[in-house]
Amino acid sequence: TAVAEQTVRPAVREFVSGTKQLLIGGQWVNAASGRTFPTFDPATGEKITEVAHGAAEDVDRAVAAARRAFEDGPWSRTTPSERQRLIWRIGDLLLERAEQFAQLEALDNGKSVAVAQGVDVAWAADIFHYYAGWATKIEGRTITPSVPWIPGSQWHAYTLREPVGVCAQIIPWNFPLVMAAFKLAPALAAGNTVILKPAEQTPLTALLLGELFCEAGFPDGVVNILTGFGDAGAALAAHDDVDKVAFTGSTEVGKKIVDAAKGNLKKVSLELGGKSPNIVFADADLEAAIPGSANAWLFNHGQCCVAGTRLFVEESIFEEFTQGVAEFASQVKIGPGLDPTTQLGPLVSQEQLDRVTSYLRQGIADGARALTGGGRHGDSGYYVEPTVLVDVRDDMSVVREEIFGPVVAAIPFSAEEGLAAAANNTEYGLAAGIWTRDISRAHRVAKQIKAGSVWVNCYNGFDTAIPFGGYKQSGWGRELGAEAIDLYTQTKAVNVAL
Ligand code: ADP
């Protein structure tokens, strides 16, 4: 099989040697239907293993388990410091098994094992550690009301920050472990119970994480992991006994989630697509801006919702700069994720390969010119050449739509005036980059950009403490930082007449 030929740890080989099950109510179980589905190695297209195909009946079981754990305990009776200790333990266990998680992620997703370990696993552990700390720091306020229309009245009021309840969390395939951490850590810190549905393309690290929750001693039913396809996600989003759904994925599916959630008006948070502008002024430090602007769309093979895929470059340096970015891109080392020297791995699936290459064909048919790249790389595995497109127009699909591959469209601009309008000319508003040595201009432009994250003289700058989320059709709500606690708590005001 794909795995036997690779140099993976025995623990990884063993993990994928049998059919993977669902985690429901603290038990590993088959799907009610008994069905399974395969997950593939994107570097070869070969099957890694079979995974339980969860569907509506399994969703019912998982929601019932999460409801029991929430209402009857023990999760509802667990103290903040116990939650803190348990969540912290997940961060520790992740670091102890960093290599195993990284290899499994590289195998299932295609990303470089070095990145998987240095970024994905390290960051996921940090997210659990960070939110472990929050568990003991979620506090309400005391308020002294004046109630002026009842003279002489004396009141005392305070707020309680309570968990929302049973949370469904649906995640994508681009950062499988990190996305699981984004969702689980704040929800658990705030005292919720969870049903996590990993993406069908990359279910494995979430399942391995499920083992850590059992090992760490989380009570049964607090974390349920349900592998399956969009129909399982849809059943979760529509379920009447789910109090909140958190989703990361495409804007198209995000709209379906909103629709499905209407029945019981469950709370919804969404982190969706992007077509982010990365703006380079002529006065920028080009030695930093060239690799920075290349990595803005090359990182994770372009499979980042924040990818800086519209590269705005000031006219006077346009030629030189785009050549520089193209040269950088043409030199990245393409290869399988399990090779630690790989910089650009395969896309996640045959479907994504077809999608990205069809955008490239369309862009070139529309008149765009590739300074480098332009199509598939090799003829096995799902590899795409890093591609820099110039001679683009605003109406081209390569400029308007999220491609989710290593492709950038470079657009010249002549002045700061009008630039923000061009950068904001998208239905999305997730992120933006600004490269300049003029500090006033950096802040001026940052203020005008309609996006949830703006990076100045850097790109992809993330930290667990910094809130993240989208303007416009890039989403609802903010994850990470203190803001994620807001997503997973609701406020109760208690008013006392003295
Ligand atoms: P991408 O475009 O990144 O593949 P999708 O938005 O299609 O992302 O999928 C992200 C997650 O949403 C996956 O876990 C997928 O199974 C799930 N999903 C797909 N369709 C639906 C749906 N209609 N309702 C709920 N979840 C869905």
Cα–Cα distance, 16 to 239 (Å, whole number): 31
pLDDT at 59 over 50: yes
Average pLDDT score over residue span 398-427: 98
Average pLDDT along the chain:
96
In angstroms, what is the span from residue 301 Cα to ligand 1's centroid? Answer: 20
pLDDT at 6 over 90: no
Average pLDDT score over residue span 213-241: 98
Its pTM stands at 0.97
From 37, 178, 205, 253, give the residue whose CB has the most ligand 1 atoms within 8 Å, as the site to mutate. Answer: 253
In angstroms, what is the span from residue 480 Cα to ligand 1's centroid? Answer: 21
Burial of 85 (0-12, 13-18, 19+ CB in 10 A): middle
Give the DSSP H or E segment for 63: helix 56-71
* pLDDT score, position 1: 45
What are 266-291's pLDDT values in tens digits?
Answer: 999 999 999 999 999 999 999 999 99
Query: If pLDDT is split at 50, 70 and 90, which confidence band does 147 have?
Result: confident
pLDDT at 305 over 70: yes
Distances in whole angstroms, Cα of residue 406 to Cα of each of 326, 347, 454? 12, 9, 21
The ipTM (two decimal places) reads: 0.98
pLDDT at 236 over 50: yes
In angstroms, what is the span from residue 230 Cα to ligand 1's centroid? Answer: 5
pLDDT at 4 over 50: no
What are 445-498's pLDDT values in tens digits?
Answer: 999 999 999 999 999 999 999 999 999 999 999 999 999 999 999 999 999 998
* pLDDT score, position 150: 86
Cα–Cα distance, 412 to 460 (Å, whole number): 22
**Contact in structure between 409 and 389 (CB atoms under 8 Å):** yes
Average pLDDT score over residue span 17-25: 97
In angstroms, what is the span from residue 179 Cα to ligand 1's centroid? Answer: 13
* pLDDT score, position 344: 95
Average pLDDT score over residue span 147-154: 86
Cα–Cα distance, 366 to 251 (Å, whole number): 25
Q: Which active-site residues does the annotation give?
A: 271, 305
With pLDDT > 90 as the criterion, what percentage of the chain qualifies? 95
Ligand 1: residues with CB < 6 A are 170-172, 197, 199-200, 229-230, 233-234, 237, 249-250, 253, 256-257
Query: If pLDDT is split at 50, 70 and 90, which confidence band does 153 have?
Result: confident
**Contact in structure between 389 and 368 (CB atoms under 8 Å):** yes
Count of C-beta atoms within a 10 Å radius of residue 139? 9
Count of C-beta atoms within a 10 Å radius of residue 168? 31
Cα–Cα distance, 450 to 123 (Å, whole number): 27
Which ligand 1 atom sits closest to the C-alpha of 200?
16
* pLDDT score, position 151: 86
What are 163-212's pLDDT values in tens digits?
Answer: 999 999 999 999 999 999 999 999 999 999 999 999 999 999 999 999 99
What are 250-271's pLDDT values in tens digits?
Answer: 999 999 999 999 999 999 999 9
Which ligand 1 atom sits closest to the C-alpha of 352?
4
What are 61-84's pLDDT values in tens digits?
Answer: 999 999 999 999 889 899 999 999
Q: Which amino acid is at 232?
A: A
Which ligand 1 atom sits closest to the C-alpha of 173?
3
Which residue has a Cα nearest atom 27 of ligand 1? 230
Which ligand 1 atom sits closest to the C-alpha of 236?
25
Average pLDDT score over residue span 240-255: 98
* pLDDT score, position 3: 56
DSSP string, 6-52: S---HHHHHHTSS-B-EEETTEEE--TT--EEEEE-TTT--EEEEEE
Q: Which two tokens stand for residue 77?
A: 């009776």
pLDDT at 5 over 80: no
Which residue has a Cα nearest atom 19 of ligand 1? 230
* pLDDT score, position 21: 98
Buried-exposed string 42-74: b where 16+ CB fall within 10 A, e elsewhere: bbbeeebbebbbbbbebbebbbbbbbbbbeeee
* pLDDT score, position 38: 98
Q: Which two tokens stand for residue 6?
A: 């690779």
Which residue has a Cα nearest atom 15 of ligand 1? 230
